[in-house]
A and B are shown apart, each in its own frame.
Chain A
């Protein structure tokens, strides 16, 4: 029986013959069942079946597809590996989903210039693998690095556990070839850093596909450290663990990662992977140090001393890769592991200043107690990036809504304390309506000015990143200044 659900909208159907000319027969997916495979990214409660899916293999094809969209006014949504967690790659039902998964060439590893040139569909980990024989790696490493694409990392400005010391994607990209929303292929930078003119590379990274599509990326490579050690410290309270984090930073030590887990997250990890963390721990801290051997030894002694002084009752040090992997196993499996102790959960992504960590964690505990919704805390403590896992049972009436409320209240806490609504997952469609919690209408209007400089027709990943419509219920359109309903006190911005 033919599949009649999710028909291709007429405007998109009209493009299909030309898309096939550009990308070839096998580069255009029109069949509804194949399009449905792409109906969400890593955040699955937002789903839309794309009008059509294209899988270009070259920058010229990307430019031609985007040019066709520009010519006809059909929106396009760029997509890497689809691991994003904010709906940044949520398809447009009346648009083209432009997937870079077939652009997977590592064009060049250039150890003399300490860089690599890659296509956007190359996975993050593959860059490090290609660089390893030369003694290098690619420093930004989001948790999804085995599968996420470098193009997606560029779109989201991904960080990962090690960005405390090594920074985000934006700190490691020297060159970008970009197809802008008018279909032009623009080359920015290259092997030399700091090209003349405005830092467009810096502004493009983290723009979530709203300014175009990266088709080639020159990334800086980092020398593999001489020595890496990982320390696990167990505490009887989150406060003590938090104190240790503050003391380590205050002492001038810059670890490559400081991760923290609370009792519920530890319980989940133990249930899933038997990571054998110290029994009775209310908090564990994982501190990784890397660099020249002499520095690492000195820092390790200092960190061990500070953890003990803050009240850790057990510390373990892993000196080789296997031991390190054992320590990291519990942390890395924590998100998946909560599935063992809760039927459903929401992963939140907020940031607070490090000094507000203890206070915010206490408030999260209170929120949890007040609502009866359990919250497991796993986070990048060194840079205050929280990933509370808000647990609920979707079979229980109203539980999902209460979990959403708790999750939203946690973000409010982050903003109240001078933090951010996203540290690494991005705004996407999921948090577009939360942007006004962090930014004023003038700030948002300025973001919009910049966006429209590159995309005046609004065809590049519409409805993402900025609240469009600004009141999430208002009709789309360009406006500036305070919304009249807000000004008159008849409406509130989210």
Chain B
């Protein structure tokens, strides 16, 4: 098959740019077979490949070392919902919003808070970041029960299946969640679903200091309220706050919310506490511009990490803001657009100097890429990841430079 023979391959343009790199060509396969054919052709030609879904994360990850072909998964739209089994199988290009709408009609949901608006299911998986509501049902990786991936050589391979309980074979989907398409292109995934809870309460209270935050998180740990989310919001300037989400029956959430408020904020004036019965529209969404640093810390150190990020930001006169799941110890520090290389470096080095904390740059602005900042820091198990990469993508054609195993500067192994 010649290049012209591949259906729908067109020259790449500025609108296709991945971290500023314009791909030589782009194609949007209409189905999985088309995707497999396209990747087989890329393999024959030795093309490097980058992948896009809704295009909301094209500036995430490392800058590609090369991009001969941009694969747009937007044509792989399919929702196969088994409502009775609380399972759905979804094409990678399906918009998350469309999936949510279909599931909601059946009183169900994929229990994950997307961190970007307008993304696709494939993009959600390939970037792998879960929003605040993850304490009851797990993070995104815990909800995937099966996945079909097209390998770099164009071979379609499935792992897992469509039942919740299944231990047959390796759980390869885990490698692709958050893998930026470096081991293959996700074609579809099956998820376990949850019923939409009949009632929700959002409690919001201020955190005047780190000591307050730590005390309240300790109280939360000791409580039996079983929250769906415990979210920190920690700016450099202005008030930090704690947001707790309770989900359940109408009777249950009211009594849990009342009990929790009593133990969390005794003596706090009523006007300081906000209680709502729905989440705000921008719930869980990260800023669409600027640099994003993902922090993973032992949960008991989450408030300290958020406070430390604010302190570091303050020291370099940069208005950073840290949000995320305190109970899971997974946070994101948002750095406003235009922050200098020096400022971001101070932040990263300051955060990485704490034992047991990792800080990776999820999204860097172009001037940071150009300066070659270290996006990854220490990556435990990197040698094993490289071995897996070598086996699955021996030509290193898949998203070269986008992720840890193909970073232009070598990430450090612990």
Q: Which residues of A contact B (CB under 8 A)?
A: 110-114, 135, 156-157, 159, 163-164, 167-168, 170-171, 180, 184, 186-203, 205-207, 223, 225-226, 246, 249-254, 291-295, 297-299, 351-355, 380, 383-385, 418-427, 431, 435, 438-440, 442-443, 445-447, 449-454, 465-466
For the complex, what is the distance from the CA of A359 to the CA of B38, rounded to whole Å? 41
Q: A186, B167: Cβ atoms under 8 Å?
A: no
Would you give the shortest CB distance from B332 to chain A, in whole angstroms?
A: 11
Q: Which residues of A have CB within 8 Å of B225? A: 292
Q: A418, B163: Cβ atoms under 8 Å?
A: yes
Q: Which residues of A have CB within 8 Å of B383? A: 184, 186
Q: Contacts A196-B360, A423-B167: A298 and B161 contacting too (C-beta < 8 A)?
A: no
Q: B170, A426: Cβ atoms under 8 Å?
A: no
Give 4 A-B pairs besides A110-B300, A200-B381, A446-B151 with Cβ atoms closer than 8 angstroms.
A201-B174, A294-B255, A450-B170, A453-B388
User: Contacting B296 at CB < 8 Å: which of A195, A295, A451, A466?
Assistant: A195
Closest A residue by C-beta to B196: A252
Instruction: Please name the 3 residue pairs, one residue from A and one from B, whose CB atoms are nearest each other, closest first.
Output: A202-B174, A252-B195, A453-B391
Q: A439, B107: Cβ atoms under 8 Å?
A: no
Q: Contacts A156-B167, A159-B165: A439 and B178 contacting too (C-beta < 8 A)?
A: no
Q: A298, B85: Cβ atoms under 8 Å?
A: no
Closest A residue by C-beta to B355: A190
Q: Which residues of A have CB within 8 Å of B196? A: 252
Task: Jot down 30 A-B pairs with beta carbons below 8 A, ordered by A.
Answer: A112-B221, A113-B298, A171-B138, A189-B380, A192-B358, A193-B296, A197-B379, A202-B171, A202-B174, A203-B174, A252-B197, A254-B194, A292-B252, A292-B256, A294-B251, A295-B256, A299-B249, A353-B163, A355-B82, A384-B165, A422-B167, A423-B166, A423-B167, A426-B167, A435-B168, A439-B169, A443-B159, A450-B391, A453-B388, A454-B387
In the complex, whether B84 has a CB less than 8 A from a CB of chain A is yes
Within 96-115 of B, Cβ neighbours of A (below 8 Å) are at: 107
Q: Contacts A190-B356, A252-B196: A450 and B296 contacting too (C-beta < 8 A)?
A: no
Q: Which residues of B have CB within 8 Å of A206? A: 167, 170-171
Contact with A along B360-404 (1 / 0, CB 8 A): 100000000000000011011111110110111000000000011
Q: B222, A135: Cβ atoms under 8 Å?
A: yes
User: Contacting B226 at CB < 8 Å: which of A291, A352, A423?
Assistant: A291
For the complex, what is the distance from the CA of A5 to the CA of B284, rounded to whole Å? 66
Would you give the shortest CB distance from A335 to chain B, in whole angstroms?
A: 18
Q: Which residues of B have CB within 8 Å of A451? A: 170
Q: B165, A199: Cβ atoms under 8 Å?
A: no
For the complex, what is the distance from the CA of A110 to the CA of B225, rounded to whole Å? 20
Contact with A along B157-186 (1 / 0, CB 8 A): 111011111111111101101110001000
In the complex, whether B322 has a CB less than 8 A from a CB of chain A is no
User: Contacting A419 at CB < 8 Å: which of B158, B163, B198, B404?
Assistant: B163
Q: B296, A250: Cβ atoms under 8 Å?
A: no
For the complex, what is the distance from the CA of A426 to the CA of B218, rounded to whole Å? 39
In the complex, whether B297 has a CB less than 8 A from a CB of chain A is yes
Q: B298, A191: Cβ atoms under 8 Å?
A: yes
For the complex, what is the distance from the CA of A482 to the CA of B142, rounded to whole Å? 32
For the complex, what is the distance from the CA of A252 to the CA of B84, rounded to whole Å? 11
Closest B residue by C-beta to A351: B163
Q: Which residues of A have CB within 8 Å of B155? A: 442, 445-446
For the complex, what is the distance from the CA of A188 to the CA of B388, rounded to whole Å? 15
Closest A residue by C-beta to B194: A254
Q: Which residues of B have CB within 8 Å of A110? A: 300
User: Contacting B167 at CB < 8 Å: which of A251, A384, A424?
Assistant: A424
Q: Contacts A250-B84, A443-B158, A450-B391: A295 and B168 contacting too (C-beta < 8 A)?
A: no
Q: Which residues of A have CB within 8 Å of B194? A: 254
Would you give the shortest CB distance from B294 to chain A, in whole angstroms?
A: 8
Q: A223, B165: Cβ atoms under 8 Å?
A: no
Q: Which residues of A have CB within 8 Å of B327? A: 114
For the complex, what is the distance from the CA of A278 to the CA of B158, rounded to whole Å? 45
User: Contacting B381 at CB < 8 Å: which of A188, A194, A351, A419?
Assistant: A188
For the complex, what is the distance from the CA of A253 to the CA of B249, rounded to whole Å? 10
Q: A422, B168: Cβ atoms under 8 Å?
A: yes
Q: Contacts A112-B300, A449-B391: A223 and B171 contacting too (C-beta < 8 A)?
A: no
Q: B84, A351: Cβ atoms under 8 Å?
A: no
Q: Contacts A199-B174, A452-B391: A180 and B384 contacting too (C-beta < 8 A)?
A: yes
Would you give the shortest CB distance from A259 to chain B, in whole angstroms?
A: 13
For the complex, what is the distance from the CA of A206 to the CA of B179, rounded to whole Å? 20
Q: Contacts A292-B224, A353-B82, A354-B84: A446 and B172 contacting too (C-beta < 8 A)?
A: yes
Would you give the shortest CB distance from B5 to chain A, in whole angstroms?
A: 23
User: Contacting B171 at CB < 8 Å: which of A203, A226, A291?
Assistant: A203
Q: A187, B166: Cβ atoms under 8 Å?
A: no
Q: B224, A355: Cβ atoms under 8 Å?
A: no
Would you give the shortest CB distance from B78 to chain A, in whole angstroms?
A: 16
In the complex, whether B25 has a CB less than 8 A from a CB of chain A is no
For the complex, what is the distance from the CA of A420 to the CA of B160, rounded to whole Å? 9
Contact with A along B238-281 (1 / 0, CB 8 A): 00000000001101100110000000000000000000000000
Closest B residue by C-beta to A249: B86
Q: A196, B376: Cβ atoms under 8 Å?
A: yes
Q: A187, B380: Cβ atoms under 8 Å?
A: yes
Q: A199, B175: Cβ atoms under 8 Å?
A: yes
Q: Which residues of A have CB within 8 Å of B177? A: 199, 202
Would you give the shortest CB distance from B221 to chain A, in whole angstroms?
A: 7
User: Contacting A191 at CB < 8 Å: which of B179, B356, B381, B382?
Assistant: B356
Q: A453, B169: Cβ atoms under 8 Å?
A: no
Q: Which residues of A have CB within 8 Å of B138? A: 167, 171
For the complex, what is the distance from the CA of A244 to the CA of B300, rounded to whole Å? 42
Q: Which residues of A have CB within 8 Å of B175? A: 198-200, 202-203, 450
Q: A198, B178: Cβ atoms under 8 Å?
A: yes
Contact with A along B396-414 (1 / 0, CB 8 A): 0000000111000000001
Q: A192, B414: Cβ atoms under 8 Å?
A: no
In the complex, whether B329 has a CB less than 8 A from a CB of chain A is yes
Q: B296, A194: Cβ atoms under 8 Å?
A: yes
In the complex, whether B236 has a CB less than 8 A from a CB of chain A is no
Q: B385, A197: Cβ atoms under 8 Å?
A: yes
Q: Contacts A200-B381, A438-B161: A294 and B296 contacting too (C-beta < 8 A)?
A: no
Closest A residue by C-beta to B260: A292
In the complex, whether B48 has a CB less than 8 A from a CB of chain A is no
Q: B388, A450: Cβ atoms under 8 Å?
A: yes
Q: A192, B298: Cβ atoms under 8 Å?
A: yes
Contact with A along B215-237 (1 / 0, CB 8 A): 00010011011100000000000
Would you give the shortest CB distance from B371 to chain A, in whole angstroms?
A: 20
For the complex, what is the distance from the CA of A50 to the CA of B206, rounded to whole Å? 62
For the complex, what is the distance from the CA of A207 to the CA of B169, rounded to whole Å? 7
